[in-house]
């Protein structure tokens, strides 16, 4: 229901969730983030009359009841909510338009009648189970069955479904007088409801959706799987409750396992597993010799004692992980290592397993679970039965009955059967995977009039893109993201890089391949010894000194020959090269194979238009002083820079780098077009001017970082983080919204000990909570921190991360209110996409130009006062005159976080640009459309060249995409894209 609330709010509706304090606390962090994202969701808490119903304080959820027999008391307490709910409803503003009520609150239909608004009823299970329940409760079929063990065919269903009387009767008829009355009231309320909302999707059970709607005589809306509305790491991890294990430890354990080798075991939040059954399950899993991750929702002292005495956890240490408490289930099921799911067949878990494309071992206990088992086994055919025959009464779930126990041998056989690689197992996995793909498509944007689809039918599946990313994180990361975006369109993508760089994004590519994306990595070796570099120095951030950059460029130049050899062996044959500008020789490859070459540069269009002006005119020759600010001519805005700030990129600071830039420009002139990690709404005038200046088509396809949807891909982006995401978010969760400044000065910047100390003291004196990523640390700095007790002093409000940081994860957290950045384009765009204002601290290359863009064009930043660029080849040479002092750091941070009018206006603009970034990458957004147009342009070019392996289907297609936002960043923007093909 919380997921549904978010889906409704995403459509612009105001949503009120009515629940009790304990339950509200469980999803507080999820709702807080939704509110922070400007979704109109609120929570109203009502107090259950626990004492009056005979329940102890705090028992506000079924899983908190002292015994299962207390369900009767809980139903009484739920019925007593009617009066306080009516009082609450009268006070709501705006007035309610519709009630969506769980069936367990039949009295809400009276409220709907009283307020003259529709009531929709929401049931937990899918249409199959509820059609079965309808048949059982509206016919005499059970009265005709005498035996409790005899299987009979349920009449009136599209498939032949055999079931026993107890399995059919545990839901919808009640086990006691009180539960029977409740079910009767529920059915009566159904008759007066406007319609039924189901967490399922029509492709999963089409015949049952239709039959259920017909049987009920009402409209049935399948709007699931609703769990897929959770896109952020935090929402996925916190869904339902706080997990007992952090997602980093969980994924780290799974990362060590082979794909599809692990079985996940979780028997739900309400099932009471006896000590005897838990022991049998443990031994059955051990006997199966299958790696497993087992979540015990509840455990007993007796079971813990058995495990200790038997040394069980020690025995299974290398292939079994046991977690006591709540599990981050979607996170686990989405991991490539998971190959099977032992489930209790509660509908939520069943649907999550289906959505993840995972086959199941079915182990139902009570209620609708036996019906869901039949659906998985007989209809979908994606499961293996464990052998549970007799349902537990809901009110007797904590009473052990030895005759209902599943023995270890039965568990072993079921798990082995599920994970087997024989024909039957492969067919089951194939079907499960297909249903998983259907689930994803069901929740994607459909062919709705308000949002026209941005992708016409096209032969992108016949294209093979070969990507050459430069060996620097700021270039490598967006190129890997772009590879995923292309592969998501059905293209084959090959990333060409070196072994060390390949290892940095291996886990991301492995998951993409697991998701059936056609991505491959081809490794070629740099001639390190030949150019005077030590072994392993395959990235600019691994060089012994910054002066060795020259050697690295020589090594890159020598890659031309092995790259051509590799190119010849590629299958299917390449259709297009997307090359970083640092590989000018890829133009020769493109010419040799008669295919288009697209050039990819790190920065956005603003910076490259500035560079184009500097390198194509004599403007710098007219400026004598290195400290004098002058206006760059030919730009849409007045941009003032100094001569050194304008010339650290595109001209080179040595003979070798100057020659390299000249070759890059020559190669660019002969290239088919330019791909940019930006979006048109961010810099519309500069996209147009840059394209005009280059005389080429420019496709803005970003922010490409938003292609990372899974928890693991966001956390692993670029490299393995030095801190796990859970510890990071846990620390940030304690902070107030928009109160923390995030500090990260990039992967290539060398901060001296002196500068690091000034930064530390400046942050401390600002009295602003901060999280500081120290990419490289020196022994002198560590010694200073220890002697000064710095970390102890800032403990309550400062966090220091040494090494690689999960930057997108941090920036997307509601606690982050500002970002101190070096103005590398990746970081700048990630800050913009997160809607965060920036403190700008540029060092070299394009960073000073990006600062001007942030400050003068977007007006979402505060300058820290860095004036003189560092030469790229001298980044590790300390110059005291370039040090930014603690006081300047303090002033910049305080100014950025200020609540004064200027600070509020800056935050408002930043947030608006963040929203535009999301829209650009959505279906029908400008970057989505540009990706489509780029693919079509390549297709057309190949057809013109007579590409033999390409099938082109000519289909008329019309897109009209409009964005209109007033007064963003100090200027009116209206972007209209009309594409007629």
User: Is residue 170 very low, low, confident or very high in pLDDT (cuts 50, 70, 90)?
Assistant: low
Q: Is the pLDDT of residue 114 over 60?
A: yes
- What φ, ψ does residue 855 adopt, rounded to 5°? -80, -50
Q: Which residue has the tokens 């989505």?
A: 928
Quick one: average pLDDT of 19-42?
89
Q: How far apart are CA 190 and CA 215, in angstroms?
A: 12
Q: Tens of pLDDT along 530-545?
A: 999 999 999 988 888 8
Q: Which residue has the tokens 């036996």?
A: 370
Side-chain-side CA neighbours of residue 947 (13 Å): 24
Q: Is the pLDDT of residue 832 over 70?
A: yes
Quick one: average pLDDT of 949-978?
33
CB 739 within 8 A of CB 769: yes
pLDDT on residue 187: 80
Cis peptide before 102 (omega within 30 of 0): no
CB 698 within 8 A of CB 600: no
Q: How far apart are CA 341 and CA 332, in angstroms?
A: 10
Bridge partners, residue 801, by sequence: 773
Q: Give the angle 609-615-617 at the CA atoms, nearest 5°.
A: 95
State how far the alpha carbon of 734 is from the alpha carbons of 155, 739, 740, 762, 897, in Å: 56, 11, 11, 23, 18
User: Is residue 458 very low, low, confident or very high in pLDDT (cuts 50, 70, 90)?
Assistant: very low
User: Is residue 456 very low, low, confident or very high in pLDDT (cuts 50, 70, 90)?
Assistant: very low
pLDDT on residue 965: 36
Q: Is the pLDDT of residue 713 over 80?
A: no
* Least confident among 172-186, 760-774, 897-911: 172-186
Q: Tell me the pTM.
A: 0.56
Quick one: average pLDDT of 847-864?
96
Q: Is the pLDDT of residue 470 over 90?
A: yes
User: Is residue 718 very low, low, confident or very high in pLDDT (cuts 50, 70, 90)?
Assistant: low
pLDDT on residue 729: 83
Q: Is the pLDDT of residue 27 over 70?
A: yes
pLDDT on residue 592: 93
* Least confident among 49-58, 310-319, 386-395, 543-552: 386-395
pLDDT on residue 949: 41
Q: How far apart are CA 127 and CA 131, in angstroms?
A: 6
Q: Tens of pLDDT along 295-350?
A: 887 788 999 999 999 999 999 988 999 988 777 888 899 999 999 999 999 999 99
Q: Tens of pLDDT along 350-385?
A: 999 999 999 999 999 888 899 999 999 999 999 999
Q: Return the closest-CA partner of residue 486 out of 507, 509, 460, 505.
A: 460
Q: How far apart are CA 586 and CA 154, in angstroms?
A: 66
* Least confident among 322-336, 836-850, 885-899: 322-336
Q: Tell me the average pLDDT of the chain.
A: 86
Q: Return the closest-CA partner of residue 589 out of 671, 475, 708.
A: 671
Q: Is the pLDDT of residue 173 over 90?
A: no
CA dihedral sign, ordered 824, 825, 830, 831: positive
Quick one: average pLDDT of 30-46?
89
**What's the count of helices (H) and strands (E) in the chain, helices before strands?**
43, 31
Q: Give the angle 533-534-539 at the CA atoms, nearest 5°.
A: 70
Pairing type for strands 119-123 and 152-153 reads unpaired
Q: Is the pLDDT of residue 742 over 90?
A: yes
- Which one has a higher pLDDT value, 903 or 231? 903
Q: Is the pLDDT of residue 564 over 80?
A: yes
Q: How far apart are CA 253 and CA 322, in angstroms?
A: 11
Quick one: average pLDDT of 686-706?
94
Q: How far apart are CA 197 and CA 185, in angstroms?
A: 18
User: Is residue 950 very low, low, confident or very high in pLDDT (cuts 50, 70, 90)?
Assistant: very low
pLDDT on residue 261: 96
Q: Is the pLDDT of residue 804 over 90?
A: no
Q: Which residue has the tokens 């130009």?
A: 849
Q: What percent of the chain has pLDDT over 90?
A: 57
pLDDT on residue 422: 92
Quick one: average pLDDT of 110-139?
89
Q: How far apart are CA 842 and CA 849, in angstroms?
A: 9
* Least confident among 289-293, 444-448, 727-731: 444-448
- Write down how long the chain is: 981
Q: Is the pLDDT of residue 229 over 90?
A: no
Which tokens in the block code for residue 25?
Answer: 């606390």
Q: How far apart are CA 603 and CA 893, in angstroms?
A: 25
CB 418 within 8 A of CB 384: yes
Q: Tens of pLDDT along 66-104?
A: 776 787 888 888 999 999 999 888 888 888 999 999 988
Q: Is the pLDDT of residue 183 over 90?
A: no
User: Is residue 766 very low, low, confident or very high in pLDDT (cuts 50, 70, 90)?
Assistant: very high
Q: How far apart are CA 283 and CA 315, in angstroms?
A: 11
Q: How far apart are CA 526 and CA 538, in angstroms?
A: 7
User: Is residue 462 very low, low, confident or very high in pLDDT (cuts 50, 70, 90)?
Assistant: confident
pLDDT on residue 934: 95
Q: Is the pLDDT of residue 405 over 70?
A: yes
């Amino acid at each position: 229901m919380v997921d549904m609330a978010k889906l409704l709010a995403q459509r612009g509706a105001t949503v009120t969730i009515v629940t009790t304090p304990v339950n509200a606390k469980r999803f507080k962090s999820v709702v807080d983030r939704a509110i922070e994202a400007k979704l109109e969701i609120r929570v109203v808490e009502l107090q259950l009359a626990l004492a009056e119903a005979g329940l102890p304080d705090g028992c506000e959820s079924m899983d908190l009841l002292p015994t299962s027999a207390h369900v009767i008391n809980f139903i009484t307490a739920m019925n007593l909510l009617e009066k306080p709910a009516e009082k609450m409803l009268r006070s709501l503003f705006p007035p309610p338009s519709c009630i969506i009520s769980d069936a367990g609150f039949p009295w809400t239909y009276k409220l709907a009648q009283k307020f003259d608004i529709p009531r929709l009823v929401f049931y937990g299970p899918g249409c199959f189970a509820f059609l079965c329940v309808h048949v059982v409760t509206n016919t005499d079929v059970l009265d005709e069955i005498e035996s409790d063990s005899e299987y009979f065919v349920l009449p009136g269903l599209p498939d032949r479904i055999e079931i026993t009387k107890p399995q059919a009767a545990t839901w919808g008829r009640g086990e006691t007088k009180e539960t029977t009355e409740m079910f009767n009231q529920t059915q009566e309320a159904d008759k007066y409801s406007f319609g039924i909302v189901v967490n399922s999707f029509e492709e999963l059970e089409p015949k049952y959706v239709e039959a259920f709607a017909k049987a009920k005589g009402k409209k049935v809306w399948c709007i699931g799987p609703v769990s897929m509305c959770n896109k952020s790491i935090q929402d996925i991890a916190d869904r339902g409750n706080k997990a007992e294990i952090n997602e980093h430890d969980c994924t780290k354990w799974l990362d060590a396992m082979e794909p599809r080798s692990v079985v996940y075991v979780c028997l739900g939040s309400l099932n009471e597993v006896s000590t005897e059954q838990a022991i049998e399950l443990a031994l059955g899993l051990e006997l199966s010799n299958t790696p497993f991750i087992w979540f015990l929702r509840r455990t007993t002292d007796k079971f813990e004692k058995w495990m200790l005495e038997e040394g069980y956890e020690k025995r299974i240490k290398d292939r079994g992980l046991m977690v006591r408490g709540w599990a981050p289930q979607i996170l686990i099921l989405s991991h490539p290592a998971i190959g099977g799911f032992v489930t209790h067949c509660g509908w939520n878990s069943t649907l999550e397993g289906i959505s993840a494309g995972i086959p199941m071992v079915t182990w139902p206990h009570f209620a609708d679970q036996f019906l869901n088992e039949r659906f998985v086994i007989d209809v979908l055919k994606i499961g293996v039965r464990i052998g549970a025959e007799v349902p537990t009464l809901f009110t007797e779930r904590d009473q052990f009955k030895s005759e209902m126990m599943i023995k270890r041998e039965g568990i072993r056989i079921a798990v082995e059967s599920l994970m087997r690689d024989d024909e039957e197992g492969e067919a089951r996995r194939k079907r499960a995977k297909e249903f998983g793909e259907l689930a994803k498509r069901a929740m994607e944007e459909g062919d709705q009039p308000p949002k026209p689809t941005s992708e016409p039918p096209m032969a992108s599946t016949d294209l093979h893109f070969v990507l050459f990313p430069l060996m620097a994180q700021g270039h490598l990361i967006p190129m890997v993201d772009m590879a995923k975006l292309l592969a998501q369109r059905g293209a084959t993508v090959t990333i060409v890089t070196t072994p060390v760089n390949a290892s940095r994004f291996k886990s991301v590519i492995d998951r993409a391949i697991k998701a059936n994306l056609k991505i491959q990595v081809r490794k070629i070796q740099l001639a390190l010894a030949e150019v005077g570099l030590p072994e392993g120095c395959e990235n600019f951030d691994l060089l012994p000194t910054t002066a060795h950059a020259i050697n690295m460029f020589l090594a890159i130049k020598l890659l031309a020959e092995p790259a051509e050899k590799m190119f010849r062996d590629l299958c299917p044959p390449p259709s297009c090269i997307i090359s970083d500008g640092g590989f000018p020789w890829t133009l020769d490859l493109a010419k040799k194979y008669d295919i288009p070459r697209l050039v990819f540069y790190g920065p956005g269009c603003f910076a490259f238009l500035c560079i184009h002006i500097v390198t194509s005119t004599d403007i710098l020759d007219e400026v004598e002083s290195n400290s004098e600010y002058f206006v760059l001519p030919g730009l849409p805005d007045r941009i003032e820079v100094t001569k050194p700030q304008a010339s650290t990129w595109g001209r080179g600071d040595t003979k070798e780098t100057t020659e390299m830039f000249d070759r890059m420009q020559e190669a660019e002139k002969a290239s088919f077009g330019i791909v940019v990690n930006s979006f048109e709404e961010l810099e519309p005038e500069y996209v147009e001017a840059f394209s005009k200046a280059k005389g080429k088509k420019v496709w803005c396809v970003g922010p490409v970082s938003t292609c990372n949807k899974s928890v693991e891909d966001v956390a692993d982006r670029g490299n393995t983080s030095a801190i796990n995401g859970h510890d990071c978010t846990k620390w940030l969760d304690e902070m107030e919204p928009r109160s923390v400044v995030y500090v990260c000065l990039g992967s290539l910047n060398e901060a001296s000990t002196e500068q690091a100390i000034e930064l530390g003291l400046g942050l401390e004196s600002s009295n602003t909570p901060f999280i500081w990523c120290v990419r490289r640390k020196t022994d002198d700095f560590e010694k200073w921190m220890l002697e000064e007790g710095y970390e102890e002093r800032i403990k309550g409000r400062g966090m220091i991360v040494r090494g690689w940081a999960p930057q997108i994860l941090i920036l997307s957290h509601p606690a982050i209110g500002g970002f101190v950045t070096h103005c590398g384009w990746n970081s700048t765009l990630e800050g913009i996409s997160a809607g965060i204002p920036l403190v700008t601290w540029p060092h070299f290359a394009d960073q000073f130009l990006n600062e001007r863009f942030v400050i003068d064009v977007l007006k979402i930043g505060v300058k820290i006062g860095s004036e003189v660029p560092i030469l790229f080849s001298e980044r590790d040479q300390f110059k005291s005159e370039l040090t930014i002092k603690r006081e300047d750091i303090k002033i910049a941070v305080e100014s950025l976080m200020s609540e004064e009018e200027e600070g509020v206006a800056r935050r408002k603009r930043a947030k608006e640009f963040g929203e535009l970034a999301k829209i650009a990458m959505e279906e029908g957004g400008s970057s989505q459309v540009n990706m489509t147009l780029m693919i079509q342009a390549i297709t057309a070019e190949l057809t013109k060249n007579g590409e033999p392996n390409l099938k082109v289907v000519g289909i008329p297609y019309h897109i009209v995409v409009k964005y209109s936002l007033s007064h963003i960043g100090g200027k009116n923007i209206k972007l209209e894209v009309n594409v007629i093909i």
